[in-house]
Structure 1
Amino acid sequence: MRAISGLWRWRRNPLRRGTDLAEAWVGLVALVLILVGGPVIGALTGGAAQDALQRTARAQLESRHLVTATVIRKLNRSPLDADPETSSGRDLRSRVVADWTAPDGTTHEGKVMADLQSPHAGDHFGMWTDLHGRTAARPLDSATATTHAVLAGTGAALLTAGVIEGARRFALWRMIRRRYARWDRAWDRAGPDWGRTGTGS
């Protein structure tokens, strides 16, 4: 709507100032840059993020392995854990002492988090380790990598649009300041009695 109301700046009329046309051009250039530059930068950023994240996901999947661990005993809740009265996604995990066999064939035992709500000795659960059996975080999956890449591309496009809009507003602010300065000089030249009857006669 604002762009439509600004179309008068393009028409030839005796009241149109040079700054009006300059403001119209600044607005048009900013609009084109937002509509073209924003999506292009977003696509380039998203594509680069997608490539990097997919490489990371493949590398993690190659270096991390899902093994089956066996519960030896459940550990008491840590005093640093949240209030047991509150329920959250963490309630589905429990701290246990477990043993597992690494992909290289070595046997390990240690304190780990199990995806079991109420584990008992002998229960089995899956956990991620590196090749030597050290516990590792779940590897990044392809879908999550794609989601992060889309978010990165969208963020880059929005940031680009914000920077362009900020530059447009700054340019308009400078033009308005110059216009006011010219008006002040014009008032000074008119003198203090410009409105009095008989001035200049």
Structure 2
Amino acid sequence: MTRTPPTTVTRVRLWRWRRNPLRRHSDIVEAWVVLATWVLALVGGVLAGLAAADTSASAFAARLARVHAVSAVLTDDGARTPAAGSGYDSGRVWAAVRWTEADGSVHTGRAKVPPGAPAGTRVTVWADAADRVVPPPVTGAAADLQAALAGVLVAPSAGAAVWAAGRVVRGRLIRRRMAEWDEEWKQIGPSWGNLSGGRG
């Protein structure tokens, strides 16, 4: 008794791009949709990431332009221990400071200083255009790193959004093709059965 070898299905790569009698117009459209989806996902993701990084860097630069560093003097002693739950910079404490601008105007405020710093200690604080003490701006390597992280986070998100949109379009094409096949089978199916019966 001879055993028939199992039939193997050979997957033909890029079949939608090759001429063959089974290829339909919807197959060609689907091939272009898949290609466009991948290209746009890659290129769009990279461009979106670069734009996000540039926007972040511009925001850091704009904030830096709105504030300025001043040399201030503590007007009272800084607390020796930081208050509990005072945030990410809990190693520092609040203290009253005073500084004099170039025009001779004197300003006061409260700033974060090292714990236990005595009155009269000079510290650098940041002030805005209204001479209010503000948190220090993000500059240098920290600004570059945050801008790069923004780009890294945005790039895959933008690419994924394009890819998801392409999947939706491709899904609709597949459903449409299946509906077309169903309609054609309704027309050809009965005659196919008659042809098969006639051969016997």
TM-score (ref. length: structure 1) = 0.66
TM-score (ref. length: structure 2) = 0.66
**Residue of structure 2 in register with 1:186 after alignment:** 184
- Equivalent residue for 1:136, pick from 128, 134, 148: 134
Change over 3 Å in CA distance of 1:116–1:124 after alignment to 2? same
What is the Cα deviation at residue 176 of structure 1?
A: 1.1
What is the Cα deviation at residue 169 of structure 1?
A: 0.5
Alignment map for 1:1-201 (pairs within 5 Å): 6-44=13-51, 46-47=53-54, 49-51=56-58, 53-57=60-64, 59-60=65-66, 63-74=67-78, 81-82=84-85, 89-96=88-95, 98-103=96-101, 104-110=103-109, 112-130=110-128, 133-189=131-187, 190=189
Mapped partners of 1:130, 1:102: distance in 2: 14
What number of residue pairs does the alignment pair up?
A: 184
Change over 3 Å in CA distance of 1:133–1:143 after alignment to 2? same
Mapped partners of 1:179, 1:168: distance in 2: 16
Mapped partners of 1:151, 1:5: distance in 2: 41
What is the Cα deviation at residue 178 of structure 1?
A: 0.5
The residue type paired with residue 158 of structure 1 is: P
Residue segments in structure 2 that go unaligned for 5+ positions in a row: 1-10
Mapped partners of 1:194, 1:9: distance in 2: 29
What is the Cα deviation at residue 165 of structure 1?
A: 0.9
Mapped partners of 2:123, 2:141: distance in 1: 24
- The answer to whether the 8 Å contact 1:64/1:129 transfers is yes
2:89 is paired with a residue whose SS is helix
Mapped partners of 2:22, 2:115: distance in 1: 76
What is the Cα deviation at residue 64 of structure 1?
A: 1.9
Residue segments in structure 1 that go unaligned for 5+ positions in a row: none
- The answer to whether the 8 Å contact 2:82/2:115 transfers is no
- The answer to whether the 8 Å contact 2:111/2:133 transfers is no
- The answer to whether the 8 Å contact 1:68/1:125 transfers is yes
What is the Cα deviation at residue 93 of structure 1?
A: 0.9
Mapped partners of 2:24, 2:70: distance in 1: 71
What is the Cα deviation at residue 168 of structure 1?
A: 1.3
What is the Cα deviation at residue 175 of structure 1?
A: 0.7
The sequence identity of aligned pairs, in percent, is 31
Change over 3 Å in CA distance of 1:162–1:101 after alignment to 2? same
- Cα RMSD of the aligned pairs, angstroms, is 3.8
Cα-to-partner distance string for 1:52-80 (whole Å, 9 max, x where unaligned): 543442x13xx4222232251345865xx
Change over 3 Å in CA distance of 1:89–1:50 after alignment to 2? closer
